[in-house]
Amino acid sequence: MLGRIWRLLIGPVLSTRRARHERLPVLLALPVFASDALSSSAYATEEMMLVLWSAGEDALRLAFPISLAVVALLFIVVFSYRQTVYAYPQGGGAFIVSRENLGEFWGVLAASALLVGYVLTVAVSIAAGVNAIISAFPAMLPYRVSLCIAFIALMTLINLRGARESGLVFAPPTYGFVLTFAILILVGLARGFAGDIEPVPYPPYGEGAQALSLLVILTAFARGCSALTGVEAISDGVPAFKSPESRNAALTLLLMAIILAGLVLGITYTAASLHILPLKNEDGEIVETLTSRLARTVLEDTPFVWFYYVVQIATTLILILAANTAYVDFPRLSSVLANARFAPRQLANLGDRLVFNNGIILLGLLSALLIIYFRGDTHALIPLYAVGVFIGFTLSQAGMARRFARVKPPRWRVGMAISSFGAFTTGLVLMTQLVANFRYGAWITLVSIGVLMFLLFKVHEHYMTIKGQLKPKPTEPRAMRHKVIVLVPSVHQGVLQALDYARTLSHPDEIEAVHINLDPRPPAVYRRVLKRTKDEETELRLVTPAAEKMQQEWHQFVPDIPLTILDSEHRSLVEPIEDYIDELMARESLDQVTVIIPEFYPRKWWHHLLHNQSAWILRLALMKKPNVVVSTVRYFLER
């Protein structure tokens, strides 16, 4: 039942040979990998102008110059990453570059920073998309968290269906967003230059306005740099591109930078010239975003007022689908870490649709927890957002500079100069981010990165320890002393089938059946009886009538294998058999014991609920014992 529902949701299983056909051309790769960066233009300007507005009206004149600085930084980072995609066509991004050129510690730091950044990307993108809905329909504000969780579930499901399908889903909203905002910006500029729109007066700031200072300017710049989040995604996912992979990835990077620069500069200039700011309620919560107010102002008193809702729909879709960049790169980076033995091996497993299912589901769960904790508040999440990304930027470019100096490919001095300048610039921006946003929550990101680094190194230590212990050593072959134990709950067809299997493993003399007697032990029902063993010896024991009946029934059907009955003083199935195995291995100097557990298997799923799960409990307990092999023999019942 569950399998059919899963198949209905994510589609049929794809052959591994289809992997190359699931790769993306540039036109589909752009919405898949660049939707995060492109969508950030919808809130980067708002965050920047909110900081400047805290210093009064005069500070807002710096909005456009600061956006120019952000765009300049964008092209510095993009040109540096174009070198990375050519040097590392296998992908892996900052982790591979930093680990190979700077050392293991720096590689794990870069990977941890990016993984934390990807979780924040999903949370911020989804929360911003829901805020766009609330701007058009303010009555939905109480349902903000629920809407965020629903959209995270939707994005998780879409990505579980595969890369190509997600590309086809995301292309229309991404290109629609770019076209819609291009129209909005052009109309706004045209009406502004023609004098059809008068700049609206700024709302009064109220008490508590701070003086314009260097810290305010740096904070505004740091918030505006949230527009750069997602730029590194393409370098992480080069293998997802169609051949030639590196060339297509580099072209996608350049297209993304050009479009993003146009959007950031256009939105910032238009909003600043028209004095547009987001709208807050009495509690200080933003009830209408900057882009929503910009669209209302530009489109009012025109026949195209309806286009406002097109803008809001396009903004909502791109912001929600922007989380896809993280859904592509978080699982891929996790798989690279898993293959390098820094993350659980399960994260490297390809799912039915040739995507890393476990990484996708893990990302969805972590981002949902983040949304719940911060109650879907974008402005509480933004200060946490860019720190991890800029750590990755800086280490990746420093690693590339080191690689140019070490490998010395053609024109290596030019390449090293570009990467060194990029590392220096993004390093300065990183320090700016930490200074400006530390008290607003950036410290949480640093702590999270530190904790994740610790966990990754502990996982690596575990895998390296296992590798050392499992390393083959030359030994002389020898015969193992081995015995087979068949657990007997009662005499039934499933037990007889398990005995047939046991006979294929060993001679009947090395097979023993064991029954665990869970009956109470009142002394009045006990009497002395003779028990015949395989060696024709006799012993005196105290047994209940139920145990004696069990012996008689056993020898009626299985005369060639002895049955040992173990009394369970505390009514436990596990304790008596564990003690008996220990005693048997010590007494007979056995190297290994195989325990066979018979289990009848109902045909209908709900029939399982009507039976004790004793076979599962025994299997789980005995699998932990050294030199014990546990095997389950199932007898399938008829309908």
What pLDDT digit, counting tens, does each position of 268-289 carry? 998 888 888 887 766 666 677 7
State the chain's mean pLDDT as an integer: 80
Q: What is the domain extent for residue 583? A: 482-636
Burial class (CB within 10 angstroms; exposed 0-12, middle 13-18, buried 19+) of 508 = middle
Assess whether pLDDT exceeds 60 at residue 136.
Answer: yes
Do 286 and 149 fall into the same domain? yes
Does some domain include residue 336? yes
**Could you tell me if residue 210 is inside a domain?**
no
Q: What is the DSSP code (8-state) at residue 290?
A: H
Q: What is the pLDDT of residue 149?
A: 92
Question: Cα separation of 282 and 287, whole Å?
Answer: 10
| pLDDT bucket at 365, cuts 50 / 70 / 90 | very high
**CA separation, residue 86 to residues 234, 276, 397, 420, 553 (Å):** 12, 42, 13, 17, 75
Can you tell me which residue has the tokens 């256009």? Answer: 266
Pick the residue with more confidence: 46 or 460? 460
Nearest to 226 by CA among 117, 313, 374: 117
Rounded to whole angstroms, how far apart are CA atoms 38 and 40? 5
Grade residue 612 by pLDDT with cuts at 50, 70 and 90: low
Banded model confidence at residue 350, pLDDT cuts 50, 70, 90 = confident
Give how many domains the chain has, as a whole number. Answer: 2
CA diameter of the chain: 112
Per the DSSP assignment, residues forming a β-bridge with 527 are 543
| Conformational region of residue 596, where left means phi above 0, alpha means psi within -120 to 50, and beta covers everything else | beta
The residue written with tokens 């056909």 in the block is 21
Are 319 and 392 contained in the same domain?
Answer: yes
DSSP string, 172-211: HHHHHHHHHHHHHHHHHHHHHHHTSSPPPPPPP--TTPPP
Top pLDDT among 186 and 239 is at 186
Instruction: Tell me: do 455 and 376 sit in the same domain.
Output: yes
Who wins on pLDDT, 105 or 80?
Answer: 105
Do 141 and 192 lie in a common domain?
A: yes
pLDDT value, residue 4: 62
**pLDDT confidence of residue 609:** 67
CA triple 533-536-538, angle to 5 deg: 65
Lowest mean pLDDT among 4-18, 192-206, 383-397, 522-536: 522-536
Is 8 within a domain?
no
216-228: per-residue pLDDT in tens? 888 888 888 878 8
Single out the residue in 463, 497, 524 at which a domain terminates: 463
Tokens of 592: 């290994």
Based on the fold, state whether residues 187 and 84 are members of the same structural domain.
Answer: yes
Convert the pLDDT of each residue in 508-521 to its tens digit.
888 989 988 876 55
Summarised one tens digit per residue, pLDDT across range 39-65 is 778 778 888 888 888 777 778 888 899
At residue 539, the pLDDT reads 47
Name the strand (E) or helix (H) holding 370: helix 357-374
454: confidence class by pLDDT, cuts 50, 70, 90: very high
Do residues 482 and 509 touch, judged by C-beta distance below 8 A? no
Position 452 scores a pLDDT of 94
Examine the fold and report which residue of 405, 432, 463 is the final residue of a domain before the chain moves on.
463
Assigned domain for 4 exists? no
Least confident interval from 85-94, 368-377, 510-519:
85-94
Indicate whether 531 and 571 sit together in one domain: yes
SS3 per-residue string spanning 7-51: HHHHCCCCCHHHHHHHCECHHHHHHHHHHHHHHCHHHHHHHHHHH
Over residues 363-387, the mean pLDDT reads 83
Q: Is the pLDDT of residue 169 over 80?
A: no
What local confidence, expressed as pLDDT, does residue 528 receive? 42
Per the model's pLDDT, the better-predicted residue between 548 and 249 turns out to be: 249
pLDDT of residue 531: 46
Residues 492 and 444 placed together within one structural domain of the fold: no
Mean pLDDT within 487-498: 87
CA atoms within 13 A on the CB side of 176: 17
What is the rounded average pLDDT of the residues 61-77?
89
Domain identity same for 332 and 450: yes
Total H helices, total E strands in the chain? 22, 9
**CA 568 to each of CA 22, 128, 209, 518: distance values in angstroms, whole numbers, following the listed order:** 58, 61, 77, 5
Residue 619 in any domain: the answer is yes
Sheet holding 563-567, edge to edge: 563-567, 511-517, 482-487, 592-601, 628-636
Count of other CB atoms within 10 angstroms of residue 121: 31
Picking from 434, 463, 492, the residue at the C-terminal end of a domain is 463
Q: What does the pLDDT read at residue 453?
A: 94
Nearest to 454 by CA among 119, 109, 116: 109
* DSSP codes joined into one string, 114-147: HHHHHHHHHHHHHHHHHHHHHHH-GGGGGGHHHH
Write down the pLDDT at residue 109: 93
In terms of Cβ atoms closer than 10 Å to its own Cβ (0-12, 13-18, 19+), residue 471 is exposed
Same domain as 458, residue 486: no
Cβ-contact 265, 39 below 8 angstroms = no
Please indicate, yes or no, if residue 12 is contained in any of the structural domains: no
In the predicted model, is pLDDT for residue 314 greater than 60?
yes
* Dihedral of the alpha carbons of 358, 394, 268, 210, in degrees to the nearest 10: 110
Residue 543 has phi, psi (to 5 degrees) of -130, 155
pLDDT at 164 over 80: no
Which of 187-196, 205-214, 296-305 reaches the highest mean pLDDT?
187-196
Q: C-alpha 502: how far from its chain's center?
A: 44
CATH number of the domain within which 86 lies: 1.20.1740.10
The percent of residues above 90 in pLDDT, for the chain, comes to 10
Choice between 466 and 198, residue whose per-residue pLDDT is larger: 466
- Residue 362's pLDDT is 93
The residues, ordered by sequence, that sit 6+ positions from 348 with a Cβ below 8 Å of its Cβ are 334, 335, 338, 339, 356
Clarify whether residues 31 and 150 are in a common domain: yes
| Tally of CB atoms within 10 A around 542 | 13
* Parallel/antiparallel/unpaired status of strands 286-288 and 279-280: antiparallel
Q: What is the pLDDT of residues 428-439, one digit of tens each?
A: 888 887 887 787
* Structure confidence at residue 262 (pLDDT): 92
Strand pairing category for 286-288 and 482-487: unpaired
Residue 7 in domain: no
Q: Which of 51, 68, 72 is nearest to 220 (CA)?
A: 51
Judge if 145 and 242 occupy the same domain.
yes
Residues 562 and 415 in one domain: no
Q: What is the CATH number of the domain that holds 606?
A: 3.40.50.620
Domain-located, residue 134: yes
Backbone angles phi, psi at 99, to 5 degrees: -65, -40
Q: How many residues does the chain have?
A: 639
Helix, strand, coil in percent for the chain, rounding step 5? 70, 10, 25
